[in-house]
Structure 1
Amino acid sequence: MTNHFPLTAKRSLELLGLIAIFGVLYIAKDIIMPVLMAFFISIMLLPIYRFLRKKKVPESLSIILPIILVALFIALIVWFFSNQIGILVKDFPQIKSNVSQHINNLSDWISRITHYNDKEQKAFIQGKSDDLMNMGTKLAGGAALTLSGVFVFIGLLPIYIYLMLFYKDILLRFIFMWFKTDHHPKVKDAIYETESIIKSYLIGLLIQITYMTILLGGILMIIGIKHALLIGVIFAILNLIPYVGALIGNIIGVLLTLTSSQELWPVITVLGVIALVQFLDNNILMPRIVGSKVKINALFAILGVFIGGSVAGVSGMFLALPIIAVLKIIFDRTEMFKQWGVLLGDERPAKSPMGFASFRKKKPVAVKSGTEKEE
């Protein structure tokens, strides 16, 4: 027992540390999430900053100009959604008429297959509508706080980004001072790889938003679907949330289509076009843009999204995958935490560790290809 106590103590400390990290993230999410968001945006802006510095642009101006580009991009998104919401408000009478028609069609269908009559259905719908109105009233009470939180979040981002880029050398020195000198080459490699993965991932996502908006919105616009561009932008942005976002995007696309038409063929068309664009995105376009650098298995990608959402809301869901990718880089290069890197990765051993002792050790092993069958 005494021989195994140190190992048991290490595992216990690791789990306690993990719980403590999630606790701190949950309690201080309003402080930590803007810092994390600023960190990832700073990494993405580094190439622009370095380019301007090579052109002998003053350091402060080299930091401010990329931040202005980010601000313009956010302002463009806000303007677009404001414009689209204005169009929806103008179309509200038609939307109300279309929704009523769909409800009547649904009521007729339910009457044909069940024993519920029109009066019972209307009473049920009215009750649920009242519940939704009450819920909306309660949520509206916190809307001002939420809006103020969003403005504070956005207001802090440029400050954090500026300071991180300005003091990046101090932050790097701080990181190196935690390790022995003979470990510095590994630390340097980890920093370069982290920067490379974050840049390729985030820039790839921006490219993904662009081509998905053009493809989805353009095809739907050519077909004649109303609010085609809005459906395209919403789906492209939500698709950034791994696995979950695509489902939510499909639902919103169907709802927007139902409210703009009294027929069902546009809904089928929208779902078909979304499926086609997703197939192209998942199998052809995105692998070529981002590549296979972020090797996180699907189980922990989904868990990360849900945990990030429960800890920090939508921003946590968006940041879940890059955070896990950074953690995996650190774990893979640390002997003490290497097993956590294996757990997060998608490199399955070629054979079961139950029958091969060499696959139980902390060293590289032969892995299965994606198409190889289980033995």
Structure 2
Amino acid sequence: MLPPPHNLNTPRHPVKPQEVRQAPVIHYTFLLIGLSLLVFVLHKLDEILLPLAFSAVFTLLLLPICRWLESHKVPRVLAIILCLLLVLVIFAGIIVAFGSQLTQFQNELPKLQTKLMEVFNQAQAWAHDKFGYDPMSVNEVKDSTMKSLKKSGTSYIGTTLNTTTAVLSNLAQVLIYIFCFLYYRDHLRQFMFRFVAPDKRTTVLHTVDSIQTVVQAYISGLVKVIIIVAVLNGIGLLLLGVKFAIFFAIFASVLAIIPYIGIMIGATIPAIITLVETGSPLQALAVIGVFVFVQFLEGNFITPMITGSQVSINPLAAILALILGGALWGTPGMILSIPLTAILKVVFDAYQPLEPFGFLLGDVSDGEDTKNDKSDDRPSFWQRVWRRMTA
């Protein structure tokens, strides 16, 4: 039987091609492979990416100063040069102040070495009386130390020279990158807009401004926190009569740029020196107590007063970022971990599909405030006190 003739007036519905859907396992497998390749590239290209990352952070910090100079009829090139000179003057002042203290501490090292040997002998005598430990003589300790120094002396000199050369080279790269970023910032913005639809450019511009605000607030707030912590540490150590109190106070406050871990390192060294100098464990514990108390004030009062919720990252995310940054890029990665995590949080909050990850990185109090419809812009009591003091 023949099929009925097709009616030409009947519209034909086009056959839609079936969409090929990948299984979730395949999707997440490709995602993990992509993340692994990203981590591998970041680790292998650290000599290139680290100067770029520091340059980007400092560019965001110097951008308001450069714009202010340009608004006062200063040419862009001259404004950028003035910004770079300001950075060099600040770093030179820090190095000179810190170097003078370091020189005084270095002059006292022979005396500290002698007292350290006395403490070492006392510890060996105690171990011999309690556990029958066969103590080493002073000459044996000196001979073993000199042999190890002779074996590794050449490598230490080579490492020092290589480190100095690398620091100077990276500093030159950072200054060049900062100049280029500030000079070509309009060109870079137009380049970024070419990847974005015209109706979404306002959102992208708002996200970039938010990133700049977060990084600027973090770094400027960190500088203020370092100064205040250095003053408090210095007062506490001077009251305890600790030698080189100013040096250790500055040293511990500078290490505060490494969150959570820096203060531990900064407290351990002066505690050991105090134990060797005085022979009193209670005095060493008092030194640690000063740093712990100042750390408590910094975490609960000083930082909330100065930075507020500009970088609202929960402690778990900060610790994980610190560990990952150290594993990826070493100490520079630990320094960059918190501002880069703050930048990621701003990007995640602005991009709807990644908004849950921004919520995961954020502090718990921020989520509770949002849930209770509380205003995040309302200053706390300590913030109001700080604003009145600095007004």
The TM-score by the shorter chain falls in which range?
A: 0.7 to 0.9
Q: From the superposition, tell whether residues 133 and 103 of structure 1 become closer, same or farther in structure 2 (CA, over 3 Å).
A: farther
1:360 corresponds to: none
1:89 corresponds to: 106
1:223 corresponds to: 240
1:187 corresponds to: 204
- Cα contact 1:99–1:258 (8 A) shared by 2: no
1:339, CA displacement in angstroms? Answer: 3.7
1:35 corresponds to 2:52: yes
2:229 corresponds to: 212
1:164 to 168, 173, 181: 181
Q: Provide the C-alpha distance between the structure 2 equivalents of 1:71 and 1:350, rounded to a whole number of angstroms.
A: 40
1:152, CA displacement in angstroms? Answer: 0.6
Q: Provide the C-alpha distance between the structure 1 equivalents of 2:306 and 2:229, rounded to a whole number of angstroms.
A: 13
Q: From the superposition, tell whether residues 60 and 32 of structure 1 become closer, same or farther in structure 2 (CA, over 3 Å).
A: same
RMSD over equivalenced CA pairs, Å: 3.1
Which moves more between the two structures, 23-32 or 337-346? 337-346
- Cα contact 1:231–1:256 (8 A) shared by 2: no
1:127, CA displacement in angstroms? Answer: 6.1
Pick the structure with greater CA Rg: 2
Q: What is the 5 A alignment of 1:10-159? A: 10-119=27-136, 138-159=155-176
1:137, CA displacement in angstroms? Answer: 5.5
- Cα contact 2:240–2:287 (8 A) shared by 1: no
Q: What is the 5 A alignment of 1:206-285? A: 206-285=223-302
1:212, CA displacement in angstroms? Answer: 1.1
Q: From the superposition, tell whether residues 179 and 345 of structure 1 become closer, same or farther in structure 2 (CA, over 3 Å).
A: same
Partner amino acid, structure 2, of 1:59: R
Deviations 1:316-367 (A, max 9, x none): 110011111111211222234334323333349999xxxxxxxxxxxx9848
Q: How many residue pairs were aligned?
A: 356
- Cα contact 2:263–2:291 (8 A) shared by 1: no
Q: From the superposition, tell whether residues 120 and 105 of structure 1 become closer, same or farther in structure 2 (CA, over 3 Å).
A: closer
Q: Provide the C-alpha distance between the structure 2 equivalents of 1:199 and 1:350, rounded to a whole number of angstroms.
A: 23
Q: Provide the C-alpha distance between the structure 1 equivalents of 2:49 and 2:145, rounded to a whole number of angstroms.
A: 38
Which moves more between the two structures, 289-298 or 118-127? 118-127
Q: From the superposition, tell whether residues 87 and 246 of structure 1 become closer, same or farther in structure 2 (CA, over 3 Å).
A: same
1:359 corresponds to: none
Which moves more between the two structures, 158-167 or 169-178? 169-178
- Cα contact 1:238–1:245 (8 A) shared by 2: yes
Q: From the superposition, tell whether residues 53 and 187 of structure 1 become closer, same or farther in structure 2 (CA, over 3 Å).
A: same
- Please, what TM-score do these two structures have when normalized by structure 1? 0.84
1:138, CA displacement in angstroms? Answer: 4.1
Q: From the superposition, tell whether residues 256 and 34 of structure 1 become closer, same or farther in structure 2 (CA, over 3 Å).
A: farther
Q: From the superposition, tell whether residues 264 and 60 of structure 1 become closer, same or farther in structure 2 (CA, over 3 Å).
A: same
1:79, CA displacement in angstroms? Answer: 1.6
Which moves more between the two structures, 145-154 or 295-304? 295-304
- Cα contact 2:313–2:363 (8 A) shared by 1: yes
1:344 corresponds to: 361
Deviations 1:60-111 (A, max 9, x none): 1211112111111111222233322321232122111221122123223323
Q: From the superposition, tell whether residues 89 and 119 of structure 1 become closer, same or farther in structure 2 (CA, over 3 Å).
A: closer
1:203 corresponds to 2:220: yes
Taking only the aligned residue pairs, the percentage that are identical comes to 29
1:59, CA displacement in angstroms? Answer: 1.4
Q: Provide the C-alpha distance between the structure 1 equivalents of 2:228 and 2:150, rounded to a whole number of angstroms.
A: 37
Deviations 1:276-298 (A, max 9, x none): 21111111111111112222232
Q: Provide the C-alpha distance between the structure 2 equivalents of 1:85 and 1:350, rounded to a whole number of angstroms.
A: 45
- Cα contact 1:44–1:202 (8 A) shared by 2: yes
Gaps of 5+ in 1: 352-363, 370-375
Partner amino acid, structure 2, of 1:49: C
1:15, CA displacement in angstroms? Answer: 2.9
Q: From the superposition, tell whether residues 127 and 347 of structure 1 become closer, same or farther in structure 2 (CA, over 3 Å).
A: same
Q: From the superposition, tell whether residues 137 and 287 of structure 1 become closer, same or farther in structure 2 (CA, over 3 Å).
A: farther
Q: Provide the C-alpha distance between the structure 1 equivalents of 2:206 and 2:118, rounded to a whole number of angstroms.
A: 61
Q: From the superposition, tell whether residues 329 and 349 of structure 1 become closer, same or farther in structure 2 (CA, over 3 Å).
A: closer
2:323 corresponds to: 306
1:373 corresponds to: none
Q: From the superposition, tell whether residues 238 and 350 of structure 1 become closer, same or farther in structure 2 (CA, over 3 Å).
A: closer
Gaps of 5+ in 2: 1-18, 375-391
1:224, CA displacement in angstroms? Answer: 2.2
- Cα contact 2:102–2:247 (8 A) shared by 1: no
2:345 to 297, 310, 328: 328
Q: From the superposition, tell whether residues 277 and 129 of structure 1 become closer, same or farther in structure 2 (CA, over 3 Å).
A: farther
Deviations 1:169-191 (A, max 9, x none): 11222222222222222212211
Q: Provide the C-alpha distance between the structure 2 equivalents of 1:331 and 1:216, rounded to a whole number of angstroms.
A: 37
1:235, CA displacement in angstroms? Answer: 0.7
Q: Provide the C-alpha distance between the structure 2 equivalents of 1:99 and 1:278, rounded to a whole number of angstroms.
A: 28
Secondary structure at the aligned position of 1:239 is classed as helix
Secondary structure at the aligned position of 2:258 is classed as coil
Q: Provide the C-alpha distance between the structure 2 equivalents of 1:47 and 1:155, rounded to a whole number of angstroms.
A: 22
Which moves more between the two structures, 179-188 or 144-153? 179-188
